[in-house]
Structure 1
Amino acid sequence: MPQYAILVQPSANRVYSRNAARLTRNELLGLDELLLDGRLRALGGPVERTMGGVPYLVVPVAAPEPEDLRVLANLSSLFALFELRDDGALVPLDLERLDRYDDDLLTILKYVGKTNEQLTRLLLNLTAAAATTREGFLGSRLRVLDPMCGRGTTLNQALMYGWDAYGVDVDRRDVEAYTAFAARWLQDKRLKHRSGSTRLRVAGKTLGRRTTFTLAADKELFRAGDVQTLEVTQGDTLDVDRMYRAGFFDVVVADAPYGIQHGSVTGPRTPSRAPGDLLADALPGWVTVLRRGGALGLSWNTKVLPRQDLVAMLVDAGLEPLDGDPFLDLAHRVDQAIDRDVVVARKPR
């Protein structure tokens, strides 16, 4: 039976690197369950294997479809894909990734507290796969919201995939830093785009300031109206359901605060330092703007919010958490104070 060997991408973060093969294996099994009808698991699933002192994931395949390979190509920690022959030879395969832009869109911004780009891609992959079909994942323009977008790691990954990216964050400095980066990057890459900024007012109340970019990968697409939207609002995540209409988004993803001060600073509400309290307050609004059949994905620190408590919140908000084996083995250590986990939940149709 033919086999593929996935070379796991090295990471500058040594702690993440130690978990990368396991996390990628579970990501692949999750994508297999959601997009590939479980075909890979039926053949035994991916197996971690070291060849030449380097970690690989070896995947048995049977008459793979081209679209299956396109799904594999977008794995978060895939560095290269090979056909593994019976004699042990590794034959490199061309990858057809979703990536539309140069990878410096993801890597050029460096700052304290930035979410690991591989983890961001893993979270977005699994959440988008839960919200759509294989054809939708590979060919649709999904609308992605990060309601705690910070300096835009998730937004950049969504843009890279050719999707529409929307972000909300209460921190004015983070939003200004990200919008300045986006404007400069678009100019440096000479990408055709338009931009504008305005005050966001609803029912006579100012909810924040919004900056919107309309862009395309080339001039022909822009002229044809085949454009992407990047929109960032400096405002309170608790007001998301007032900023956007119900059911507007296919995917909502967020890397929740790990226990540092983070909360509402506008309006009559009192800021909360507890991530659990913030999520409990914010989830109803996030679910409102998520379409039926869409999915929400969160990464968070289990040392400040146990998994069972977060899952209970998601259920109370009307979501259906995914509980298959791959989705229950994504926890990993970040540092002494942070054990990070990932959860994905669907909104019923």
Structure 2
Amino acid sequence: MTAYALLIHPSANRVYAESAVGLAAAELTVFGDRALDGRLADITITTIGGLPYVTFTGVDLTDRDLSVLANLSARYAFFARDGDLLRPLEVTGRDRFDSDLITIPKYAGKTNEQFTRLLLNVTALATTDRAGAAGTGGTSGTSGTAVTVGAAAGPLGPDSPPLRVLDPMCGRGTTLNQAMMYGWHAAGVEIDGKDFEVYANFIRTWLKHKRLKHSAEITPVRRNRAVLGRRLAVTLAASKDDHRAGRIVDLTMVHADTRRSRQVFRAGSFDAIVTDAPYGVQHGTRGQAGRLTRDPLGLLAEALPEWVALLRPGGALGISWNTLVAARDDLAALLVKAGLEVADGPGYGGFAHRVDQAIVRDLIVAQRA
């Protein structure tokens, strides 16, 4: 058994930084249970040299295991630990693109980038393949065909097949960009036309500046001769070698009402659905007849049947929300009513944290059987 220490990334904003260490410990607990067969123990917060670390022990952790842990949302550096002596470890996660894909966009209401990664991680780890192996599987390419991978790898393994991720209230695309960072296929639905246009301009400009092989076009979305909205369709590769090898990432963003998602995407085509619900304070979403609503439960009650239909069996849905405007039990009841099973294993109860005076954010994860 080896002792380890995780140094938390210093770039979190001030308020998030107050909660970052505790959130990292909860996320690490989920990783240990879902991706590493319960081989992590003694997860705690320890002060070393005046700085807070998340320390833990691991049984027979391989380089492959450490590469999975390298995807932790707040990971800055990993160390093997001998008392207060720390030995740096080289670890490499799934990131395929430069970090400015995530950090360049700045706007009011943007979800914290580290939290977006955390929500995506714990949702992905709740997926299973079609054979029912926990924490594994995904889809390869664009066909939606399930591919079983080894249980030890999980979706965050270094060579695991790409997942297909949907953010049905994607705003200006933070979740889409994080999914792309992992080399996963990303799709989003956004009702705000300005957000759609801002994201389309950003991603096309970013791709050109990076000189990545890609295609990008905006086309109308039609059903029964009626126009539902607009679709941004992008294909890209992280390198020329990836492009030659056919390792292509698909990105789609649709300007439409999320409650019509089934008219936009094929049923059962996503491994994970990840979204940040309207907080009910600074944030809202357009309801019926275009009215701004700040009731996340009302919106979710209407939208969940659409989303669940898009989730494949064994897929998982993760939602973050403001607990001051919606109780966890009420949200869990909606998920169960929609046919999902709420995850309640180790770590999932440790994610509530303050965002500001009016927002205490938490997350909930559920799986489609």
Q: Which interval holds the TM-score relative to the shorter structure?
A: over 0.9
Aligned residue in 1 for 2:287? 264
Task: Tell me, in whole angstroms, the C-alpha distance in 2 between the residues paired with 1:279 and 1:238.
Answer: 9
**8 A Cα contact 2:279 2:294, kept in partner:** no
Cα displacement string for residues 94-122 of structure 1 (whole angstroms, at most 9, x for unaligned residues) = 11110111111110111100000110000
Say if 1:12 and 1:32 are closer, same or farther in 2 by CA, change over 3 A.
Answer: closer
Q: Contact 2:33–2:346 at 8 Å: present in 1 too?
A: no
| Inter-partner Cα distance in structure 1 for 2:15 and 2:294 | 27
1:136 aligned partner, one-letter code: P
Deviating beyond 2 angstroms after TM superposition, the runs of 4 or more aligned structure 1 residues are 134-137, 268-273
Shift of 1:252: 0.2
Query: 1:136 and 1:161 mapped to 2: Cα distance?
Result: 10
SS in structure 2 of the partner of residue 136 of structure 1: coil
Task: Give the equivalent residue in structure 2 for 1:137.
Answer: 156
* Structure 2: distance between partners of 1:271 and 1:206: 22
User: Structure 1, unaligned stretches of length 5 or more?
Assistant: none
Identity of aligned residues (%): 51
The 1-side partners of 2:42 and 2:287 are apart by 44
CA distance in 2, matches of 1:143, 1:12: 27
Deviations 1:246-287 (A, max 9, x none): 10000000000001431236xx68764411100110011000
Residue 141 of structure 1 deviates from its aligned partner by: 0.7
| Structure 2: runs of 5+ lacking an equivalent | 128-134, 137-152
Q: 2:330 aligns with which of 271, 289, 309?
A: 309
Residue 325 of structure 1 and its aligned partner are, at CA, apart by 3.9
Counterpart Cα distance in 1 of 2:299 and 2:230 = 21
Greater CA deviation, 97-106 or 272-281?
272-281
2:44 is aligned with 1:47: yes
After superposition, residues 212-227 of structure 1 pair within 5 angstroms as 212-227=233-248
CA distance in 2, matches of 1:38, 1:62: 9
Distance in 2 of aligned mates of 1:197 and 1:262: 23
Q: Which residue of 1 is the match for residue 142 of structure 2?
A: none
Alignment pair present for 1:37 and 2:56: no
Q: Is the 8 A contact 2:164 2:270 kept in 1?
A: yes
Shift of residue 225, structure 1, vs aligned partner: 2.3
Separation of aligned partners in 2, 1:58 and 1:270: 48
2 CA distance for matches of 1:328 and 1:210? 37
Q: Is the 8 A contact 1:25 1:46 kept in 2?
A: yes
Greater Cα offset, 88-97 or 151-160: 88-97
Q: Is contact 2:12–2:114 with CA below 8 Å preserved after alignment?
A: no
Q: Is the 8 A contact 1:237 1:264 kept in 2?
A: no
Matches of 1:229 and 1:74, distance apart in 2: 21
Verify the 8 A CA contact 1:29 1:45 in the aligned structure 2: no
Q: CA deviation at 1:203?
A: 2.1
Out of 197-206 and 256-265, give the one that drifted further.
256-265
Distance 2:91 2:52 in 1: 19
> What is the TM-score with the length of structure 1 in the denominator?
0.95
Asked whether the 8 Å contact 2:94–2:156 carries over to 1, the reply is: no
